[in-house]
Every structure is written in structure tokens, then in C-alpha cells.
Amino acid sequence: MQVLVRDNNIDQALRILKKKMQREGLFREFKARSSYEKPSEKRVREKAEAVRRQRKLQRKKLQREGLLPGPKKAARPSR
């Protein structure tokens, strides 16, 4: 993973690095590896993740077809 530092702005580069790590799921993996997870707990967690993914895909499909309202957009304050 690589992040370019522009104009010696370390804070911005660090923020970008954290965002990339979050997207890749590294923080979740670090937390999972910090302690032992029993095989039965792992099965339960993976099954719950699969169910959550399927529901999300189904919800997005229904939104595309117009059967469900889309996500609410945040109201921007007027300037």
C-alpha cells in the first residue's frame, strides 16, 4: 500500500492511509487476530456476514427497480 505525501502534509497522507486501510479491511483483521476465535464462533460470524451481504444486495436491487425508496440524501444547509 502506498500513499504519496504532498507539500510535506503528513496529516493528509495519514488520513488517506487510514481510509485505504479501512477499505481493505485491515483494522477488522487486526482486531480478529488479536484474540483466538473458536471455530464455532467463526462459523456464526461468517454466516451472519453472508446474510448481511445478501440483504444489502437484495435491498440495492429493489431500489434500482424502484420498488423501494432510495437512500435519504442529507440536507445541505444553505449558504
Q: Enumerate the domain spans of the chain.
A: 1-35, 37-67
The letter for the amino acid at 46 is E
pLDDT classification of 79: cutoffs 50, 70, 90: low
Cell triple for residue 8? Answer: 510535506
Query: Rounded to an integer, what distance in angstroms lies between the CA atom of residue 74 and that of residue 35?
Result: 38
With a cut of 90, say whether residue 1 has pLDDT above it.
no
Query: Rounded to an integer, what distance in angstroms lies between the CA atom of residue 25 and that of residue 20?
Result: 9
Q: Taking residues 9-24, what's their average pLDDT?
A: 94
Query: Rounded to an integer, what distance in angstroms lies between the CA atom of residue 5 and that of residue 28?
Result: 25
Asked if 17 and 3 count as a contact pair (C-beta separation under 8 A), the reply is yes
How do residues 17-72 score in pLDDT, each as one tens digit? 999 999 999 998 998 889 999 999 999 999 999 999 999 999 999 999 988 888 77
The letter for the amino acid at 60 is K
Residue 45: the pLDDT is: 93
Secondary structure of residue 69 in the 3-state scheme: coil
